[in-house]
Amino acid sequence: MVSMKDIAAVCGVSVATVSKALNNHDDISEETKNEIKRMVKELGYHPNSSARALKTNRSYNLGVLYKEASGSGLTHDYFSKVLESFRNEAERNGYDITFLSNSKNRKDRMSYLEHSIYRGMDGVMIAVADYKDSEVIELLQSSLPVVAIDYVYNGRISVLSSNVKGMEELLGYIYSQGHRRIAYMYGEESMVTTNRLSTYYRFMREKGIDVSDEYVCEGKYRDSHIAGVITNRLLDLKQPPTCIVYADDFAAIGGMNAIKDRGLKIPKDISVAGFDGITMAGQLEPKLTTYWQNTEQMGIEAAKKLISLIETPKETAIVQCVISGKLVEGSSVGKI
């Protein structure tokens, strides 16, 4: 097996120089770095991860807790992009990722924290989870570095999508088009839902609009069937809304299908809007009005913050990072 010492001998430099070149230190010339890296590739040298772990007291392994309720798994448009960009940024910094599991089907079942410790994880990113779960709380209250997506917990770094600003911009656009009877179908209980729903109520109050209880409906994220049922219920009202805002773009698609099944036209007869800005939203007819969330940047920021917590804990502030998105006007909201 080729060692770092062998590379140093062939290149006529010290072992320390080889190490610095492989770690891209600035005090080594580019010419020397390139020569060492060429020889590393030619001789088939591979750094020993166990040796690196002993030297740095780190495993270079990040845990990911991903327990979403819709059953979409890694096909979930929102979270799949967060996870992909998180993985890319982690790998760019020399880290691998491992998904946490506490499956009841396993004989050696462990809690999330126990699994993290067992795998020697340097830190954990919570992409989505039931934050009322005692095992999730245990993980959050542990000494392990943790960063949470779209959830605020005291003493932990959070990376948040701009749900409040997004709802304000979306509703502001709908209002500017003349709509006053605006219904809202929200998703399951979560911090995201709470922030969007409270923003809806506050926006309507500030505009002097009395909100009918019939216009505020509990649905589910990524459930087009339930969205269709709720849409029909809203359309059957004596005074139906002129615009329906859905929990997300998938729900909006279900609503649009229900509207079209009744022989109505969007936005001529009724307007609709989503939230998330998934790729499919721009391919609909009419193009969906929605709020695009920058999931790629959320994943990158989560990885950066988690690695910073691991490598420079004393210098890393516990903050809430809000990642801005943007309004996509589309053509599904008509002017009254």
- Cis ω for the linkage preceding 47 (within 30 of 0): no
Q: Where are the domains of the chain?
A: 4-47, 61-161+296-324, 163-292
Residue 66 pairs with which residues in a beta bridge?
128
Assigned fold of 61-161+296-324: Rossmann fold (3.40.50)
In total, the chain counts a number of residues equal to 336
Distance CA 7, CA 218 (A): 64
Distance CA 145, CA 90 (A): 15
Tell me the pLDDT of the chain (336 aa) as tens digits: 677 788 888 899 887 788 778 777 778 888 898 898 888 888 887 765 555 554 556 788 999 999 866 555 566 677 889 999 999 999 998 899 999 876 555 556 789 999 899 888 999 999 988 999 999 999 999 999 999 999 999 999 999 999 999 999 999 999 999 999 999 999 999 999 999 999 999 999 999 999 999 999 999 998 999 999 999 999 999 999 999 999 999 999 999 999 999 999 999 999 999 999 887 777 788 999 999 999 999 999 999 999 999 999 999 999 999 999 999 999 999 999
Distance CA 283, CA 324 (A): 23
Distance CA 195, CA 32 (A): 54
pLDDT at 106: 58
Is the domain 163-292 a CATH 1.10.1270.20 member?
no
Domains 61-161+296-324 and 163-292 share a fold: yes
Write down the pTM of the prediction.
Answer: 0.80
Distance CA 327, CA 114 (A): 42
The answer to whether the CB of 135 falls within 8 A of the CB of 102 is yes
Cα angle 252-127-195, degrees, rounded to a multiple of 5: 55
